[in-house]
Amino acid sequence: MTRTEDLFRQAFRESPIGMAVLDDAGRYEEVNATFASVLGLSPAAVIGRSFADFTHPDDMVASRDTLRRIRTGQTSSAQFLKRYLSAKGEVVWARVTVSDAPGSHLDPRHRLVVQVEDVTEERRTKDLLTQRTLYDHLTGLANRTLLLDRLALALDAHRDRITTVACAFLDVDHFKVVNDSLGHEAGDSLLVEIARRIQDAVRPGDTVARLGGDEFVVILENVRSRAIAEGVIGAVTQAVQSAVIVESHEIVPTVSVGLALAELDSTAEGLVRAADTAMSAAKESGRARLAAYHPGMRRDAMSKLSVEAELRTAIRDGQLVVFYQPVVDLASRRIIAFEALVRWHHPSRGLLGPDEFIGIAEEANLIVPLGSHVIHEACRFISTHPDFSGRVLVNVSTKQIGSADLTRVVRSALTESGVNPSRLGLEITETGMLMASHAAKSDLEALTALGVDLVIDDFGTGYSALSSVLLNPVSGLKLAREFTLRLGDRSTGDRISIAMATLTMSLDMYGVIEGIETEAQYALARRHGWTYGQGFLFGHPTPEELITIDTDGTVHVPTGDRGAGLAVGLPPTVRPETAPRLPIDDRESRLGLVDPLEQATRDSLASLQGAAPAPGSSSPASHRNGGSAAAGQTSHDRDPFAWTHRSGLDTGVFGVHR
C-alpha cells in the first residue's frame, strides 16, 4: 500500500462526514464510522448490504435512477436530499453526494463514492416553519396561504376540463356564545372536533382549510354539477351536527354554508370571496343552511358596504335620533317610563327604521358607538324634562355587553347629564344575559352597583335556561310580543302569560308584557296578573319634540299613527324604593333557585284548573331575599312606581317595539 493510499484510507475512516463506497451491484464495500452512525449501526453491520436496505420506500425510485445515470455516464456526480431508515426504523434526512469512481487497469471494477451529511434537525426545523406558514396551528388543516395556492392550481388544472372547482365557505353558528360562556379552551376543543368531522366527511383529494376563528373552507375538484357539490357539503353539515361534549356540556354545532362554483375567469381570491358572500346570505336567512352564490349577492354586499359607510357618517354627524315609546301601569294606564328606540334621519332616504341598519351596525361593529349615542341621548332626555319623574329604558346588544366600554359609557352619560342612575334602565335579551353570565358578569355587577337595574327583554324568544338567566342581577323581565299575540287562545298563549306573570311576582320582580295592541289583549293581560304593559295601544315610538310633560307631571303623547292619544297623570315625585335583587355572591341561593322556579311555573299552571299551589312550596322570592314576603302583599300593594327605579338593555330594542 502506498503512502497516498494509506493517507486516503485514514481520512476516509476519520472523516466527520459520512462516507461509503458502493460496488456495481449497489452493495456497500466500505463505510466509515460516521456513515454507519447515521444508520445507527456499526460499519461491519453495514458492509455487504445493499443501499436499498436503508433507503426510504418513497425515495427508492429516485435513488435507483440517480445511481443508474452516474453509472451510464450521463453525469459524473449528483447531489440530492434523501431519506434513510435507521436500524430503529426512524427517518433520517441526509444531503447526499454521489461521485463516479472508475476502475483502473489494476482493478477495473466500477465504484461509486457516497458522501452523507445528516440534516435531520435542519429538515425538522424547516418542516416546522412550513407547518406554521402553511397549516393552521390549532386544527392542522391548511391555512389561508396554502388554501389559495392549492385553489389557484386547481383552477388552472380545470381550465380545459368539463368539470369545475367548487368552494364552500363554512361558518360555525353561535360560536361566540360557546367561546364567551365556556371559555376559549372549550371553544378551541369544539373547533378541533368540527375540523376533524369536516375532514372525515369530504372526498379523498378535497382540501379542507381553516381561515381563522370559526371559519372553514372546503375545495372540491372534479365537480360536474352544483348538485354534486351540494351533496358533498350536505354530508359535511350532517357530520358536523352530531352532538359533542365540551366541558361537560352537550353542544350540537351547526354551520352556515356558502357555495360558489368556479367560472372560466375565476381567481382563487374571487372564488373564496364569492363563497363567503353566499355564507353571509345563509346566515341572514336563518343559519344552519346552505346558500349558493349568484351575482345578485355581490350587489347586495356592495350595497351593505355603502350603507355601512353612510352609517359611520351618520353616527359622526348626528343623523341618528331617538324616539320614545311609553310603558304604562296597566291598572291606571298612566305612563311610568319610556323606552328609547333609535331611528336614522338619512339625508336622501328620509327616516329609516332600525330594520334597515341595525343588522349592518352589528356586523360592522358600529353597534357599540351607536349604543353609546342612545345611552347619552336617554340621559339628556331625562335631564331636559325635570317634571318627568319616570325613567327611560335603553337597549344594548350582546356586543356592548361584552365590551369593557359599557360601564364607562354609562358612567359618562350619567355624569354629563347629572341624572340619578335609578332613572336609567338597561334591557338585555336572554341571549345577551346568557353570555353576560360568564363573560361580563363583573360589568353587569358594576352597573347595578351604580344603581342602574337590568331587565330581560323579549323574554321567551332566546334559547337559554331560565335559571341561567335569572341567576344574574336582574330586577324584571319583559314578555315578548310573540306571546301577547297568542292571548285568548285559551291554551298555550294564556298559560304562558299567566305562568310568567306569576313567576315575576313570586320572584319579587316586575314584569312588563309587550305588544299590547287591542283592548282585548289589554283586558287579558290585566286578568293574567300583569302590572305593566307596552304596545301600540298606549303609544307608538314618538320623537321627543312631540312629547309634552306638564309641570304637574302629566305626560302627553300624540294621537293617530304616532300614539294612542294618552294624556295621563304621573305623580311629580316617585317614592324611592330599594329594588329586590337576585343574589350574585351567595352560591347556595343561586344553586337553590331552579326548583322554586319550576315549582312556581307548575303552581301557576295548576291555578288554571283552580288547583292550589303545592303544599309547602316556597316562593322564589324567599330564596332571593332570605325570607318570605309580607303576608298578603301583592304587586299592587307595593308602590306601583317603585320599579321605575330599576331597569335593563338589548339588541332588539333598537328596533320597533309594540
Tell me the per-residue pLDDT of 132-149, one tens digit each, with 9 for 90 and over.
889 999 999 999 999 999
* Cβ-based neighbours of 116, under 8 Å, separated by 6 or more: 17, 18, 19, 20, 34, 35, 38, 84, 94, 95, 96
For each successive 10 residues of the chain (658 residues), what is the average pLDDT?
70 88 92 94 95 95 93 91 93 94 71 93 86 90 95 91 95 88 90 96 95 96 94 96 90 95 93 94 88 85 83 92 95 93 93 89 87 95 93 88 80 95 90 63 83 86 59 84 87 88 87 94 94 94 93 79 40 31 28 36 42 33 33 33 32 43
- How far apart are the C-alpha atoms of 190 and 140, rounded to whole Å? 14
pTM of the model: 0.57
What fold does the segment set 318-585+634-654 form as a domain?
Answer: TIM Barrel (3.20.20)
Q: What angle do CA 509, 510, 512 make, to 5 degrees?
A: 140
CATH of domain 135-293: 3.30.70.270
The C-alpha cell at 260 is 360558489
Taking a C-beta distance cutoff of 8 angstroms, is the pair 376, 340 a contact? no
Residues contacting residue 300 through CB under 8 Å, at least 6 positions apart = 281
Between helix 144-157 and helix 120-134 the angle, nearest 10°, is 80
Closest by CA position to 514, among listed 343, 328, 640, 378 = 328
Write the burial class of residue 637 (CB in 10 Å: 0-12 exposed, 13-18 middle, 19+ buried): exposed
Query: How many whole angstroms separate alpha carbon 106 and alpha carbon 488?
Result: 114
Cα gap 50→28, rounded to integer Å: 6
For residue 210, with 0-12 CB atoms within 10 Å meaning exposed, 13-18 middle and 19 or more buried, which class applies? buried
Q: Where are the domains of the chain?
A: 3-119, 135-293, 318-585+634-654
CATH architecture for residues 3-119: 2-Layer Sandwich (3.30)
